[in-house]
Amino acid sequence: MGGWSVPRPKTGFTEFFESLELLNIALVQTSAWRSEDFVLPAKVNMDHEVSVKILAPGKWVTVCKYDLTAIVGGGDEPGLRISASYSASYSAEGELDDQARKFLTDNATLATWPYMRHYVRSITSEMGLNPLTIGLFKVTFQPPGHQEPKQQGEPLKATARSRSVKKK
């Protein structure tokens, strides 16, 4: 017959994904400290957490908190600490179910990571250090439909990630 087809209504994640808009990114908290004798290179670690808050129907804000520490040589105590939190505001149609929440937290991380990279490079330079460059945020790729096996009695970790960062 003819080329006419009735569009299928968008529901669930598809509706959320296709209507999602990033409204704003803002630095909301920061702190930085280094010891007087700290020098690079050092072992650098970046911890990362994301939280999601509903502002109104169809509007959410995520807060991505990054904590960087650096330890020289075989030392025990960090000689450098940098923390920053960025908010990313979003709007979308639909509900924030588990799949949409996961996508929103991943998207917020990818959106704010370049800001954190810039902040770390800038603040270490202002501290009188060689600018510290951190790498790209590495996304763990999962094929469509893949689910991580959950071990009996072990809660799922939904908001925290850690990664090592190398000085370049």
Of residues 102, 85, 86, 143, the one with CA closest to residue 20: 102
Please indicate whether residue 15 or residue 12 has the higher confidence score (pLDDT). 15
- Whole-angstrom distance, CA of residue 70 vs CA of residue 66: 13
Tens-digit pLDDT profile for residues 124-133: 999 999 999 9
Rounded CA separation 4/73 (Å): 69
Query: Rounded to whole angstroms, how far apart are CA atoms 50 and 113?
Result: 12
Q: Using an 8 Å Cβ cutoff, are 104 and 96 in contact? A: yes
Count CB neighbours of 68 within 10 A: 24
Architecture of the CATH domain 12-129: Roll (3.10)
pLDDT band at 147 (very low <50, low <70, confident <90, very high): low
- Banded pLDDT at 5 (limits 50, 70, 90): low
**For 111-128, what is each residue's pLDDT tens digit?**
999 999 999 999 999 999
pTM: 0.77
Average pLDDT over residues 31-39: 95
The residue extents of the domains of the chain are 12-129
For the chain, the average pLDDT equals 83
Confidence of residue 95 (pLDDT cuts 50, 70, 90): confident
pLDDT band at 12 (very low <50, low <70, confident <90, very high): confident
The three-state DSSP-derived secondary structure of the chain is CCCCCCCCCCCHHHHHHHHCEEEEEEEEEEEEEECCCCCCCCEEEEEEEEEEEEEECCEEEEEEEEEEEEECCCCCCCCEEEEEEEEEEEECCCCCCHHHHHHHHHHHHHHHHHHHHHHHHHHHHHCCCCCCCCCCCCCCCCCCCCCCCCCCCCCCCCCEEEEEECCC
